[in-house]
């Protein structure tokens, strides 16, 4: 059994004014950086400072000596389409200079059904849908098409903001373009929830990620 290093009450979660587990988006910054991802990047089961993305930001702060708040749009259970939509809304309010992603597993989808509220469709945790909707959302060609639409929007945001993107992934994807494969290894250790990767795995991944981006700073 892999180790779980945290007791039940060893830390708490804090969220900013818009519901994200990061610093306030109102803070000034010398270098606006945004992280994208799902529950791994959000840090479910971990203190925030133990997440791969926070460790990356600490490296950037140290090498640049700049004031950079930690900004992350990562949300547990979300897919690529949700993350890119949130980024699209984010850049309408403030400029960004770098985008770093650990893309979620494929197949997750945003949807509105009989309600204006956006909800998440997960392949293994899906509520009852009409058969034709389930068949559509489960179709690999549909998933690839929707993912590539999101990637087109991500590329457009990158170009308009002149913000380089570095992308890794976890889980099986549908031939998504990435800069390097994920090295998050749940066999190293586990987070407090006994499901997500722990601090050793996050440190290992942050070191791999850093090797791919340090030339930018």
Which are the contacts of 215, defined by CB distance < 8 A and separation ≥ 6? none
Query: In the prediction, which pLDDT does 131 show?
Result: 79
Does the domain at 33-216 match CATH 3.30.750.24? Answer given as no
Residue 74's alpha-carbon distances to 65, 71, 85, 137, 215, in angstroms, are 25, 9, 12, 22, 24
Cα–Cα distance measured from residue 56 to residue 177, given in angstroms and rounded to the nearest whole number: 21
Query: In the prediction, which pLDDT does 69 show?
Result: 98
Domain map (residue ranges) of the chain: 33-216
Range in 129-133, 139-143, 212-216 the model is least confident about: 129-133
Give 92-135 pLDDT, tens digit per residue: 999 999 999 998 877 788 888 777 888 888 877 666 777 777 88
Query: In the prediction, which pLDDT does 140 show?
Result: 84
Tracing tokens 């597993």 back to the chain, one arrives at 105
CA dihedral 126, 17, 167, 159 (to 10 degrees): 120
Give 155-207 pLDDT, tens digit per residue: 999 999 999 999 988 765 555 677 777 767 777 889 999 889 999 999 999 99
The predicted model scores a pTM of: 0.92
């Amino acid at each position: 059994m892999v180790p779980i290093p945290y007791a039940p009450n060893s830390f708490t979660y804090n969220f900013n004014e818009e519901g994200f587990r990061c610093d306030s988006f109102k803070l000034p910054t010398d270098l606006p950086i945004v992280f994208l991802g799902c529950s791994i990047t959000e840090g479910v089961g971990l203190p925030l400072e133990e997440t791969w993305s926070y460790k990356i930001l600490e490296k950037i702060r140290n090498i640049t000596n700049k004031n950079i708040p930690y900004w992350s749009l990562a949300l547990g259970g979300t897919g690529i389409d949700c993350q890119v939509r949130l980024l699209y809304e984010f850049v309408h309010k403030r400029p960004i200079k770098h985008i770093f992603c650990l893309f979620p597993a494929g197949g997750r989808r945003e949807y509105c059904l009989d309600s204006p509220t956006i909800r998440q469709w997960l392949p293994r945790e899906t509520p009852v849908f009409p058969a034709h909707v389930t068949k559509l959302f489960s179709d690999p060609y549909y998933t690839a098409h929707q993912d590539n639409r999101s990637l087109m929007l991500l590329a457009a945001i990158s170009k308009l903001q002149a913000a380089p993107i570095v992308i890794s992934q976890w889980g099986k994807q549908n031939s998504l373009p990435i800069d390097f494969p994920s090295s998050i290894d749940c066999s190293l250790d586990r987070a407090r929830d006994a499901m997500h990767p722990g601090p050793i795995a996050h440190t290992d991944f942050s070191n791999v990620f850093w090797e791919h981006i340090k030339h930018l700073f």
